[in-house]
Amino acid sequence: MSSILLLIIIVMTIWKFFIPCTLLNKSKKNYNKEFYLKKDESHQSEIIKNKKFFNSAMVYFDILKKHLYLNKLSKEINVYNHIVCQGDVLSEILKKYSSDGIDSSGVSLLLQQYPILRKLEAGQILSWMMITKKKLQCLVWNIFPQEIRVYNRMHASFTEGIIRILNQLNNSLYPAILFTGELNGTFIDSARSLGIEENYIIDISNALQYQLDFRKLRQGDRFAVLISTMMDRSYNVESKLLGARLYTSGKNYYIFRANNGKFYDREAVSLEGSFIRFPTLKPFRISSNFNLNRLNPVTGQVSPHAGVDFAVPIGTPVFSVGDGEVIVSTYSKIAGNYIAIKHGCHCITRYMHLKKLLVIPGQKVKRGDNIALSGNTGRSTGPHLHFEIWINHRPVNPLTTKILNIDKLSGNERIIYLNQIKDIIPKLCFD
Ligand SMILES: [Zn+2]
């Protein structure tokens, strides 16, 4: 009984993750080349026997395909599935399905990086994706009902991610899902390549933005993300981010969700600033820093730069960094299309050189609301976003100012929280 429940929850949870991607993909045309090899009689019976494995591997693999597709890595995608038989060897399996051949250097690289893939066992499910016919892009290995391994080709190498189903955490009746992965490229891309839902990636980035600089993360840094599942009476699965750990430069960074829905660290100190650090989903290169004493190289006169310039491509969504009210949304010769938002506490933020304004003066906005698309309007020498924070009528450096509510759990709430995370911390392990 409990294993059936588990299966339903896994499949439904994973399914839920992948719905937004499905909707996005409906409008794309060049993404429907899937090839499933005909299975012979013996394979058929194995499929039935292993239906549980098969379902979760297939559904999960779909998520990965969508994520990779969204990252625009692929022009032509072919997908294959195989149930491992006694004596099967990975390189032979991959070769067998590729009538046009396969880049064997990619396959040997994968096996060299992860020798564990030489230990396939009968009944396990393999799914893999080839790009432009010959290039192995992604391999999903369903080991047993509670573990799936994912190998993604990112840049010049493969990266392994592991998804585990954990039972009954914090006395919950329902399983939790643990994703562990390694950084290859940005944190956002690495987490996406494992199929972690976008909302959770943003929650983690926001909660940790004041403690670490995501641009300084390095290849090989590790992360673990724990998500709880719950089923209501109509069999809808609710999922929630319980906690996450990021390991970089010899240090661990943790976040946990308290019962009030907010994120705190191991000492129960709040991780939510009143502002998000960057007005874009990810931090972009800084093309000009905040500098009130900037000398104009031509005139030799001081011409202050009261904000920071991000090298943002035209059309990038721009977010309000905090809750507030739009006080300006207009065009000016110098600032181009620009927006000013008043946040209370004598604080104003300004966003300049925008392509498209999406809010009007008087409108109330929430932290993280999309207010504009970035551009290259006004006095601007190239596409960028100029961003300012003013406190008490004076500009401050948006990259170093701490506008953080120091909020700590106390009393009973703190005791409950610390008890909960005592269970979670050991689960956020990397091996
Ligand atoms: Zn500027």
Tell me: the pLDDT tens digits for 178-234?
Answer: 999 999 888 998 898 887 888 899 899 888 876 777 888 998 899 999 988 776 677
Q: How far is CA 69 from CA 76, 129, 295, 354, in A?
A: 10, 11, 46, 28
pLDDT at 63: 56
pLDDT at 194: 82
- Is residue 15 very low, low, confident or very high in pLDDT (cuts 50, 70, 90)? very low
CA of 379 to the centre of ligand 1 (A): 10
Annotated domain spans of the chain? 2-274, 286-396
CB proximity list for 357: less than 8 A, separation 6 or greater: 329, 330, 337, 339, 371, 372
CA of 308 to the centre of ligand 1 (A): 6
Indicate the class that CATH gives domain 2-274.
alpha beta
CB proximity list for 304: less than 8 A, separation 6 or greater: 291, 292, 293, 294, 395
Q: Quick one: CA torsion of 295, 299, 300, 306, rounded to 10 degrees?
A: -20
Q: Is 116 helix (H, G, I), strand (E, B) or coil?
A: helix
Percent of the chain with pLDDT over 70: 75
CA of 354 to the centre of ligand 1 (A): 12
Question: How are strands ordered across the β-sheet holding 135-144?
Answer: 77-83, 125-131, 135-144, 147-154, 157-166, 176-182, 222-231, 237-248, 251-257, 263-264
CA of 201 to the centre of ligand 1 (A): 29
CA of 290 to the centre of ligand 1 (A): 8
CA of 365 to the centre of ligand 1 (A): 23
CA angle 175, 180, 185 (to 5 degrees): 145
- Is residue 118 very low, low, confident or very high in pLDDT (cuts 50, 70, 90)? very high
- Taking the C-alpha atoms of residue 215 and residue 33, their distance in angstroms, rounded to an integer, is 36
Q: Which CATH architecture has domain 286-396?
A: Distorted Sandwich (2.70)
pLDDT at 295: 76
CB proximity list for 112: less than 8 A, separation 6 or greater: none
CA of 373 to the centre of ligand 1 (A): 16
Q: Which of 141, 129, 155, 23 is nearest to 74 (CA)?
A: 129
CA of 375 to the centre of ligand 1 (A): 13
CB proximity list for 39: less than 8 A, separation 6 or greater: 47, 83
CA of 188 to the centre of ligand 1 (A): 26
On the question of pLDDT at 358 being above 60, the answer is yes
- Is residue 286 very low, low, confident or very high in pLDDT (cuts 50, 70, 90)? very high
Q: Which of 63, 57, 55 is nearest to 17 (CA)?
A: 63
Interhelix angle 2-25/51-70, nearest 10 degrees? 30
